[in-house]
């Protein structure tokens, strides 16, 4: 089955700096890669996602890049703000057919943005 | 309002008791998931379903069972609770292979 590795497990940055979180996946058939943000005491929520036919996607201060050859994708947050402090999860999934709808998450990264 | 609901939010129960954690969604999603979340953050997939009468085991071995008799309902049952089952359980649902998964607020289970 799919295995998603996520690094680092904790990340501390100064406000205004950039933050990068990296994930690798094992199943070359995976074709959908979402990122979720979970604030303390709250449920995970989608912040950005990318499909395998796209190499990069950007939404304001957040961007995701995908390297299918290396089976590697990354989350980039620029101009970090204290409200970006949360746990971030990457995930991988593949579409069509029965058990292929599994949604497997990485172990999470605790991001702390210091004012 | 379209959402995904979990009950109860908190549960303290004695060892050996049978419990069912409820999860319902009003969004018409065909895919539903149960995750166990450790205090250390990680989301472990324990069960999932891609439609009525379909259930699959996830990546983390679990003594729980699930059923999917109705599209909107995906309950998780522990026949005999143990202290090792103490954790937060999150239910999620989605439609389509490349769409957002919506999470419930979770059930925090403590087995004493």
pLDDT band, residue A89 (cuts 50/70/90): very high
Residue range B35-50, pLDDT digits in tens? 999 887 899 999 999 8
Which ranges of A1-115 would DSSP assign to H, the alpha helix?
A: none
**Residue spans of chain B under pLDDT 70:** none
Residues of B in contact with A98 (CB under 8 A): 50, 54, 56
pLDDT, residue A99, reads: 52
Rounded to 5 degrees, what angle do the CA atoms A37, B90, A65 make?
30
Comparing CB atoms, the residue among A36, A43, A100 nearest residue B104 is A43
pLDDT band, residue A2 (cuts 50/70/90): confident
pLDDT, residue A5, reads: 97
* Contact residues, chain A to chain B, C-beta under 8 Å: 1, 31-32, 34, 36, 43-46, 49, 51, 87, 89, 93-96, 98-105, 107-108, 110
Percentages (nearest 5) of helix, strand, coil residues in chain A: 5, 55, 40
Question: Please, what's the b/e burial string for B4-30 (b: 16 or more CB within 10 A of its CB; e: otherwise)?
Answer: bebeeeebebeeeeebebebbbeeebb
pLDDT for residue A108 is more than 60: yes
Secondary structure E strands in B26-75 = 31-37, 43-51, 54-57, 65-66
Residues of B in contact with A110 (CB under 8 A): 41
In terms of Cα–Cα distance, which of A21, A44, A48, A45 is closest to A32? Answer: A48
Residue range A25-83, pLDDT digits in tens? 999 989 999 999 999 999 999 999 999 888 999 999 999 999 999 999 999 999 999 99
pLDDT band, residue A19 (cuts 50/70/90): very high
pLDDT, residue B2, reads: 76
CB contact under 8 A, B48 and A94: no
**Partners of A51 in the β-ladder:** A32
pLDDT, residue B110, reads: 96
Name the 3-class secondary structure at B65: strand
pLDDT band, residue A94 (cuts 50/70/90): confident
Identify the sign of the CA torsion A101, A93, B46, B35.
Answer: negative
CB contact under 8 A, B42 and A87: no
pLDDT for residue A97 is more than 90: no
Comparing CB atoms, the residue among B35, B97, B104 nearest residue A95 is B97
**Integer Cα distance of B88 and B2 in angstroms:** 23
pLDDT, residue B82, reads: 94
Give B 14-53 residues with CB within 8 A of chain A. 31, 33, 35, 41-43, 45, 48, 50
């Amino acid at each position: 089955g799919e295995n998603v590795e996520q690094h680092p497990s904790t990340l501390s940055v100064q406000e205004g700096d950039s933050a990068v979180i990296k994930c690798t996946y094992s199943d070359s058939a995976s074709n959908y890669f979402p990122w979720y943000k979970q604030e303390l005491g709250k449920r995970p929520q989608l912040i950005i996602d990318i499909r395998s036919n796209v190499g990069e996607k950007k939404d304001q201060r957040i961007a995701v890049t995908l390297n299918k050859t290396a089976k590697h994708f990354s989350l980039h947050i620029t101009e970090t703000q204290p409200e970006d402090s949360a746990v971030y999860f990457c995930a991988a999934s593949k579409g069509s057919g029965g058990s292929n709808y599994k949604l497997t998450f990485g172990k999470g990264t605790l991001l702390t943005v210091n004012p | 309002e379209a959402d995904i609901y979990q009950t109860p939010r908190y549960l303290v129960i004695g060892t050996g008791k049978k419990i069912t954690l409820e999860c319902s969604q009003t969004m018409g999603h065909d895919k539903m998931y149960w995750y166990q979340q450790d205090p250390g953050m990680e989301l472990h997939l324990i069960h999932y379903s891609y439609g009525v009468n379909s259930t699959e085991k996830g990546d983390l071995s679990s003594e729980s069972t699930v059923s999917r008799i109705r599209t909107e309902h995906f309950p998780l049952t522990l026949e005999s609770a143990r202290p090792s089952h103490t954790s937060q359980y999150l239910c999620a649902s989605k439609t389509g292979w490349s769409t957002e998964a919506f999470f419930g607020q979770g059930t925090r289970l403590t087995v004493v």
